[in-house]
Copies of this chain bind each other. A is one copy, B any other.
Amino acid sequence: MVPRRGPSRAAPGKPGVGAENHRESWLNHFATELHPPRTDPSAPDALARLVELVGPDLQACNRTIVARMDSPVALIPQVAAHIVAAGGKRLRPLLTLATARMCGYQGSRHIDLAACVEFIHTATLLHDDVVDESLLRRGLSSANATFGNKASVLVGDFLFARAFQLMVEDGSLSVLSILSRAAATIAEGEVSQLVIQNDLATSLDQYFEVIRGKTAALFSAACEVGAVVAGRPAPEQAAMAAFGMDLGIAFQLVDDALDYAADQSKLGKTVGDDFREGKITMPVLAAYHAGDAPAREFWVRTIEASSQGEGDLEHALDLIGRSDAIQTTLNHAATFTDRAKDALLAFPPSPMRDTLADVADYTVSRAS
């Protein structure tokens, strides 16, 4: 067996009992962690510029997130804080905030809706980690490893429901339609991923269907909502949705490449997770189809038969490194990034538009 590099799975104790007293301090701690917009000096320029452009909006969004993930049931904010505070890039809510402003929106509805987008994303992450049996999330012990699978499933359900409550408070049936459709599409993408797992006969079309669902649908919805709150006409709403969709596909392609190529310490994720799970991604498909007979045999044993031993991950990384699998994947990503940037041309030039285009470029450049 390939040894797992993550922390050993903590036997989840009795969660949350006696924790009621600590709720206040948890939330305070979390609020402190969140309130300053993430202007990590090492963050890539484009993303840092986007954060700067929507600074007060992002702070307000973070306040909504903290306020609305609260519950009298203390374990809920604990689990939610664990994953929300672990500090992703807030890319999806940033997209809602930025697209709304780029579309000329002057109000504040986009703030709570960006929080909805983050709640849906967080709920998905919690369930993903249960499904993938992940031990690490952004370099830290995952919620399921810390609090157990049960808490992760149920708190994910809570955040999902809370996202819909926030949308209902906003009161736009268009927004509700976009985000409920996205939520169903995400689930379809996740189930499809489960179905193609371990199956090297998966076509590229099937693979794209999976990443469109599990990742790009929410990027797309996040951007479309920005145009909708701004009251832009249908073609511009569609352009925003297309921008998010292509950006999301590029993002997932790069993510899949990084799983076989990243510097683990830099990325905060365990390299080789996809390999160990027998996940079908473009690097694997490319290396498999380009491989000679022994290479194909290796992939069939390790991915299809899930029979992995000492040195297999290293051999997989070596096979992928010697093929053009990573480059093929990144080339595809670049194509989608270009399409995403084209979609932005439906809007007049502005610093926000330029920065969104740069963020699209960053999506691919982070892999190199």
Contacts and interface: CB of A to CB of B under 8 A. Distances in A.
Interface string A62-83: 0000000001111110000000
Classify chain A's interface size: 35 or more
A73 B161 contact: no
Interface in A128-173: 130-131, 149-151, 153-155, 157-158, 160-162, 164-165, 167-168, 171, 173
A263 B190 CA distance: 39
Contacts of A173: 168, 171, 173
B153 A165 contact: no
Contact of A14 (B151, B153, B155, B197): B197
Contact of A176 (B75, B176, B197): B176
A184 B168 contact: no
A181 B197 contact: no
Given A171-B173, A173-B171, A184-B161, A155 B191 contact: yes
A74 B73 CA distance: 37
B72 A188 contact: yes
Q: What 4 pairs across the A-B complex have the smallest Cβ distances? A: A158-B187, A161-B183, A161-B184, A164-B180
Given A14-B197, A123-B157, 16 more contacts: A15-B195, A17-B195, A72-B188, A75-B191, A75-B194, A76-B191, A127-B153, A130-B150, A130-B153, A150-B194, A158-B187, A164-B164, A165-B180, A168-B173, A168-B177, A173-B173
